[in-house]
Structure 1
């Protein structure tokens, strides 16, 4: 079997890494940025930490801040127009997955205008040219959008999350600066951290996993188990924040190349239809779906139990799997993740529609255990 592995050309890590921006902008021969971010990051001064670096270096920029938590087709179209009118030659994405995903879609469409309807980007789009150069600075430790070849845009008309997969969209540079994450609220730290754990676990057990991806995912699980709770409870703890920033990137390196599974398949419609934060949806679903998937990946679950530090020598594979599932659930509880969909306003009558959408989701076929609509419906009912 032939495996493909795509990563950024250049990435920087560590508190204060944003200071490398002027050097990299100059190296790439770039001149003006369209800064893609959201209003909350501007309001709380997070984006300004990056803008200060641009201003000190004399790099001109224009702001595009009309980005929603679950970015939409209309968001992207507005961004394409803003880029065209700005005179910029690169995009500086500051934010979580929403900002970086929007930047990816803007960059792809700008250089591949035949996809300007946005919806034709869903799945594996046959784009011919690389995106406008993107420099991505994540402000959450979860999506790893700065290193993946994926992005997710919501089709408002169909109330559907479109998963777009395109090697041409990967940012030219990733700058993972934990200082940009210090003001992230505890609830968002927890949700994005559990999103990263979901990436690592699904990436480890997905059908496309292999030795190289396993190496990254196991390390990511180990680091998230070590750092997430501290990052939630001590928001300015530099070791924990940087640990989570690196862990989510490591998870992204692998899952971007091997795929995910039905946790993401079921989480996507929860976000598209009910606007539930993606990390919360993943975290809530993960333990129950891990339990369902265990028979198809017992050896991997032993590795998860070891990475979560709950493996006891002499355990059977089944016992290790039970311990791994419980450890994930316990971590979710400790960091304050809701445990039932009903807590988020989901009702029994909503589940059939959700199950239809989840079965059709692009992530679902990667699940290690085969599913159908009835199985997915039953899984939703278990977490209702």
Structure 2
């Protein structure tokens, strides 16, 4: 069994200016970013390069419509490298844009078209969540199919990733919360995955420790942007560690179930994951309490200073200080959709469900949806 693989070369710089001094962004590049990131970090450098602002093609999570429109725009430029300077939406879109994109990008996600990489991809993440800079996973809402689906092939790895903590300074509170909770879930799901190894477990456990301890410090200091600033490097490194872990061991049922409300109601990825996190883990505990999950429970209990038997209730209370957990009906879900989402999850998310800590039957997945409704 392969124990660990990290495909992109990983770089670290304190500032975007230092990143540019090494990578020398120029006319043969297309920089894909957001205008609110370009203005403070790129504009002062006076670079002569091609720039695409992702928000001009749609807001929120990636979609095949965004990808199609941006691929059409990219045809105007003669370039060798794509530099993805942004959050998970930009990173996932650029993974696809580095391929030979067909007229309809949905064909890449459904397997109708074989992926072929034609451009070099450099990723500079601006959130502390997806870890997407070191994985080959690209997720998009496929609007024509009314679902979310991922592509994960050799061709969707970035060539290089650069970690720049400075770029996290302007994160809104909710984006910080949803992205870092996403990283926490990456870490714990990959830790429990049957594909985990001693190497991936090391990254998973370190990410959990850094994120949870970081939360305690940030919350104690008032949970503001200024309170986060001293710990941005830790959160960025932790999300990268979690990305390395889940890029090798995979994520599981939390992610699989969350795509239902993410696709149907446009719930941000990290927020959607959090809604399912503890309920999935309670089901795991019910089925195999004495297995590997016992160690994970003890880790959370030690950090939170609580009894193991109450660990998920206490974890919810703790994380609710960052972002609230709420009934799925408040997002617009109907009772009828409990069955619909169960069926859709089982049919479309086997790539993720195969990484579950223990096998979940269709009825158990339905029970999780029903409990959260």
Q: State the SS of the aligned residue for 1:7.
A: coil
Distance 1:355 1:372 in 2: 10
Shifted more, 96-105 versus 58-67: the winner is 58-67
- 1:344 equivalent to 2:362? Answer no
Q: State the SS of the aligned residue for 1:287.
A: helix
- 1:234 equivalent to 2:233? Answer no
Partner of 1:6: 6
- 1:80 equivalent to 2:71? Answer yes
Distance 1:302 1:370 in 2: 17
Partner of 1:63: 52
- 1:137 equivalent to 2:129? Answer no
Distance 1:325 1:142 in 2: 21
Asked if the contact 1:137/1:176 (under 8 Å) is kept, the reply is yes
Within 5 Å, give how 1:146-225 maps onto structure 2.
146-225=133-212
Distance 2:112 2:6 in 1: 16
- 1:20 equivalent to 2:19? Answer yes
Partner of 1:35: 31
Change (3 A) 1:24 1:4: same
Cα RMSD, aligned residues only: 2.6
Distance 1:70 1:202 in 2: 22
Asked if the contact 2:99/2:115 (under 8 Å) is kept, the reply is no
Partner of 1:371: 360
Partner of 2:86: 95
| 5+ long unaligned stretches in structure 2 | none
Asked if the contact 1:18/1:53 (under 8 Å) is kept, the reply is no
Q: Deviations over 1:84-139 (max 9, x none)?
A: 21222211212211111001111123xxx5x5532233378985744511222222
- 1:288 equivalent to 2:275? Answer no
Q: In the TM superposition, what is the alpha-carbon distance from 1:265 to its structure 2 partner?
A: 0.5
- 1:263 equivalent to 2:254? Answer yes
Asked if the contact 1:191/1:280 (under 8 Å) is kept, the reply is yes
Q: State the SS of the aligned residue for 2:98.
A: helix
Distance 1:31 1:149 in 2: 27
The alignment's TM-score, normalised by the length of structure 2, stands at 0.88
Within 5 Å, give how 1:92-131 maps onto structure 2.
92-109=83-100, 113=101, 115-122=102-109, 129-131=116-118
Asked if the contact 1:311/1:323 (under 8 Å) is kept, the reply is no
Distance 2:112 2:155 in 1: 10
Partner of 1:50: 41
Distance 1:50 1:291 in 2: 43
Q: Deviations over 1:125-167 (max 9, x none)?
A: 9857445112222221111111111110111011111111022
Q: State the SS of the aligned residue for 2:149.
A: strand
Asked if the contact 1:142/1:196 (under 8 Å) is kept, the reply is yes
Number of residue-to-residue matches in the alignment: 364
Shifted more, 137-146 versus 297-306: the winner is 297-306
Change (3 A) 1:241 1:325: same
Within 5 Å, give how 1:293-372 maps onto structure 2.
293-294=284-285, 295-296=287-288, 298-308=290-300, 310=302, 320=308, 322-360=309-347, 361=349, 362-372=351-361
Asked if the contact 2:252/2:356 (under 8 Å) is kept, the reply is yes
Change (3 A) 1:307 1:267: same
Distance 2:110 2:166 in 1: 34
Asked if the contact 2:136/2:247 (under 8 Å) is kept, the reply is yes
Q: In the TM superposition, what is the alpha-carbon distance from 1:311 to its structure 2 partner?
A: 7.1
Partner of 1:276: 267
The alignment's TM-score, normalised by the length of structure 1, stands at 0.86
